[in-house]
Homo-oligomer: A and B are copies of this chain.
């Protein structure tokens, strides 16, 4: 597929530079497919599946393969533009991580609503626990599963 890339302001962003640098650093190539998937990723809000991204990317390029979406999400995750979020049922969603600050999630078991939160004290105690065991934390996973306000009614 021959495709002329028109890099607009949106694409020439911090995020795009990070993505491009990551790819170049690994000696990989910035292909039209990767740029397309990157753009679709950036334009998607909230928490979404690979399948969702694949659908949106397919609308723009019906030739795109889902394997390429998986491969690109690995790259985006590796350079911290994307973060994985595991739902209580085990399904894997992605979200953008560059612009947002780190956060954890409340998930309603009834309606599936996802609420984000950030609690510095929890972070701090996690660090204390780790230090007390001689452990250094690379990352953590915290999800609170329950029922939301609306669903209680």
Contacts and interface: CB of A to CB of B under 8 A. Distances in A.
A141 interface: yes
Interface in A7-34: none
Q: Pick the most buried of A88, A136, A139: most chain B CB atoms within 10 A of its CB.
A: A136
A117 B131 CA distance: 12
A108 interface: yes
Interface in A98-153: 106, 108-109, 115, 117, 119, 121-122, 125-126, 128-130, 133-149, 152
A46 interface: no
A99 B56 CA distance: 49
Contact of A121 (B90, B92, B125, B136): B125
Contacts of A143: 140-141
A25 to B, nearest CB: 22
Contacts of A92: 90
3 nearest A-B residue pairs (beta carbon): A134-B149, A137-B146, A138-B146
Interface of A: 86, 88, 90, 92, 106, 108-109, 115, 117, 119, 121-122, 125-126, 128-130, 133-149, 152
Given A106-B130, A130-B146, 8 more contacts: A106-B135, A117-B129, A119-B128, A125-B125, A135-B149, A137-B144, A140-B144, A141-B141
